[in-house]
Structure 1
Amino acid sequence: MKMSGLLNRRSTELAGVVGAVRHIPAGASAPKKLGAKDIVVLDLNRTSAETARAVVAAEVAAVVHVAPSGEENLPRAAYRILAGSTIPVVEDADLSEVADGTRVRVDEGVVYAIKGDEELASGREAGSADLLAEVDAAEGAYVESALAHLANSTEFLSIEHQLLLDGEGLPEIDVEFVDRHVVVVTGSEVSREQLADLKPFIREYRPVLVGVDGGAEFLRAAKLNADLVVANPAEVSDEVLTDGAVLVVPADRDGKAEGLERITELGVGATTFPAAATARDMALLLAFHGGAQMIVTTGESRGLENAFGSSSAPSSTMVDTTVASRLVHAEACATLYRSRGAGIGLALIVLAALVAVAVVVLARDSAQDLLVWAIETWNSFALWVQGLFR
């Protein structure tokens, strides 16, 4: 008997279910080719109802639910959909390092490699009752978190409504925002990659660049000069503080600010901004009330999934609402700019082709015929280019 035949027979004799690992990234749709020989690895907190239904319809061998460490459960429909199926669900068996297509066996919450039957990860089985209990608990926690967050946001509004509505209390700084594009780079780790995607946009529009906390370091690393830095001086490098950007130091409403000693030691000037807001929110308000035409901000997007989490400041809810008419997230800006750039590139290619054709026509026909052709062709080309930007 062939070795492959022995392995197949051995796999079927062992307890549990056997299949190939199929990772579904957070927010992604289910792969088209999904079936009973697959073991799906996903995060139910970031899985849509549509994707969950597709997984159930495919009758996969098992589902491994792995949430990132420290992540709070969300009351997603995916929990109830899996609970209503007969598909085995294993929780917290970390298969992040196991490549797609790897054949594994899942038994009583433990995942084994088919080759050598080595244990790859250990979790726990979650039955229908477990999944329903988890989603019920998540619903309660989510609502409580939302109520607490909104209460804190309302308190912030009551304290800082003049700042939000009229810009009362904004420090006077030497940065011209009027009718300018502004890019606010935060210290979130995702900002580094987003800033790289924004570079073509920055090259063309020359926006006002604002570094918030560690975002100022990202700008410097990207060889971009910040026009404004809003940060605790003790948390950024000497190079950032002495690069020539206007410095704004966040302060409590009573005027107390951290890190001013550092400013004094370096001999640079700075302005304090007393407010019950985060540095990021201060930067947005400075740009908005300064007359910015558009404000692009990097960092985690503020969707409903994370709107009320511990990482979301109550002040940001009110500040984002205040500046909403001019606020664009970095990912959206980069996507729109890429689409626009592709259209311009195509237009230039077409124009070059027209010039080449004109040379041929000029060599063959009379000048009058060329003029008529050129006018008609140019009009058609102009209308087509206009259509790219509608």
Structure 2
Amino acid sequence: MDDDGAVRGRGSRAGDLAGNPPVHLRGSAKADRKTKNLISRLEPGDVAVIAHSDIDEVSGRALVGARPKIVINADRSITGRYRCPGPGILLDSGIPVLDGVGSHLIDAIADGDAIEVVGDHVYREGELIGSGVWVTRDTLELAYRKAEENLEAELEKFVVNTLQYAVKEKGIILGDMDIPSVETAISGRHCLIAVRGPRYEEDLDAVAPYVREMSPVLIGVDGGADALMERGFLPDIIVGDMDSVSDRALFSGAELIAHSYPDGRSPGSERLAKLGLSHKTFSCPGTSEDIAMLLAYEKDASLIVAVGAHSNMLDFLEKGRPGMGSTFLVRLKVGAVLVDAKGVSQLYRGRLRVGHIVGILLAAAVPIVAIALFSGSVADMARLIYLRIRLMLGLL
């Protein structure tokens, strides 16, 4: 038994996750039906209990960053509907995943409960409260094959849904909209919109020099505001449902715009009202990043740079959306000034080469040589050294 209360399998902390999952794990549990809400409460070594079908990349990376001992999923981490990367990210980081334990487990576990996992069974104080199936490399591979077989059918459903909603929503999004006024000067300036989408961290790091040089208007979409602040940038405007943004960001002094839907619902407005923060609302169907782009566009931004934005079928399926009708329309509308910086971090990774070093040394040597040639004392010293070397070599 290890110090952290785990009896290992024949492989690593998670067995080898190909056929030998953990035998015995113990820890303090935290549970939540919303993974993003749970992550903020997790401590390293906790047992994370989630209810997340098809774990997406952002959630997978966030769970890895929280460093739980194990992830117990009440749902199926990968269904084979599409190739979701989250489970693989967890396994690559050595975090075992017990799948399909049942939704009752979320309600049965309170934060701080002592949980014990023996084989594929879950116990609390000696009482069996659930059992599941370990996610392994083999089960992942089978699910990936199923996803490839399902790709064409999923794509067809996605396209049909997208076009149907695009027809329904075109009048709302492409017509006159009630755009809220903002105090931040946007007209004629660049706008950078930060969204917590796939690989947003690497891409934000890649565009950081651009932000420092061009000083664009910074718009954080929900948790994107925190991503900006983690890199030392204060958001000018925060938009969204306000469900994954920290109080720290909300109290940073940024203008706050809560996304409200055509039926009048506005979860973000409710949270901001409870915090006593003044804000405005933007009523529009679609996603919060859609309204961020529309806001920048309608306020005459000269360029809109989107980091972490969702733009393809996999992105939207990971968000649980069967289509992207509103986003399709918004991108048609703002496309002339939109630069999607997704993946910019993978375009080029500069490396310092020997040639670069030689060039720097030669450049530095030029003024030194010039000084030596025109300085009598330095020139005399150089001649003495030269003569001494020739004498030692027998050339004199």
Q: What residue number does 1:357 align with?
A: 366
Work out whether 1:330 is the aligned partner of 2:335: no
Change (3 A) 1:357 1:70: same
Q: Deviations over 1:266-293 (max 9, x none)?
A: 3322011011131110001111222222
Q: What residue number does 1:218 align with?
A: 227
Work out whether 1:156 is the aligned partner of 2:169: yes
2:369 & 2:262 partners in 1: Cα distance? 73
Contact 1:201–1:334 at 8 Å: present in 2 too? Answer: no
Q: What residue number does 1:202 align with?
A: 211
Q: What residue number does 1:179 align with?
A: 188
Within the candidate set 293, 313, 326, 2:324 is matched to: 313
1:301 & 1:291 partners in 2: Cα distance? 22
Work out whether 1:192 is the aligned partner of 2:201: yes
Q: Deviations over 1:323-349 (max 9, x none)?
A: 11222222455567977x99xxx7x99
1:94 & 1:286 partners in 2: Cα distance? 35
Within the candidate set 286, 289, 306, 2:295 is matched to: 286
Contact 1:254–1:274 at 8 Å: present in 2 too? Answer: no
How does the TM-score come out when normalised to structure 2?
0.51
Contact 2:223–2:245 at 8 Å: present in 1 too? Answer: yes
Q: What residue number does 2:152 align with?
A: 139
Q: Which runs of 5+ in 1 are unaligned?
A: 1-20, 22-67, 75-91, 100-119, 366-390
Q: Deviations over 1:243-264 (max 9, x none)?
A: 1000001112354422434333
1:295 & 1:134 partners in 2: Cα distance? 34
- 1:161 aligned partner, one-letter code: L
Contact 1:190–1:299 at 8 Å: present in 2 too? Answer: yes
1:222 & 1:360 partners in 2: Cα distance? 43
Contact 2:174–2:333 at 8 Å: present in 1 too? Answer: no
2:239 & 2:373 partners in 1: Cα distance? 65
Contact 1:295–1:326 at 8 Å: present in 2 too? Answer: yes
2:163 & 2:367 partners in 1: Cα distance? 65
Give the % identical residues: 26
1:321 & 1:204 partners in 2: Cα distance? 29
Name whichever of 251-260 and 280-289 sits farther off.
Answer: 251-260
Q: What residue number does 2:7 align with?
A: none
Name whichever of 191-200 and 281-290 sits farther off.
Answer: 191-200
1:198 & 1:304 partners in 2: Cα distance? 25
2:242 & 2:200 partners in 1: Cα distance? 20
1:349 & 1:226 partners in 2: Cα distance? 42
Work out whether 1:250 is the aligned partner of 2:263: no
How does the TM-score come out when normalised to structure 1?
0.52
SS in 2 for 1:292: coil
- 2:338 aligned partner, one-letter code: L
The alpha-carbon deviation at position 303 of structure 1 amounts to 4.2
Q: CA RMSD in A?
A: 4.4
Change (3 A) 1:229 1:152: same
Q: What residue number does 1:388 align with?
A: none
Q: What residue number does 1:170 align with?
A: 179
SS in 2 for 1:323: helix
SS in 1 for 2:266: coil
1:146 & 1:140 partners in 2: Cα distance? 10
SS in 2 for 1:247: strand
Contact 1:213–1:232 at 8 Å: present in 2 too? Answer: yes
The alpha-carbon deviation at position 300 of structure 1 amounts to 5.6
Change (3 A) 1:226 1:352: farther
Change (3 A) 1:335 1:353: farther
The alpha-carbon deviation at position 317 of structure 1 amounts to 1.0
Q: How many residues align?
A: 252
1:358 & 1:73 partners in 2: Cα distance? 62
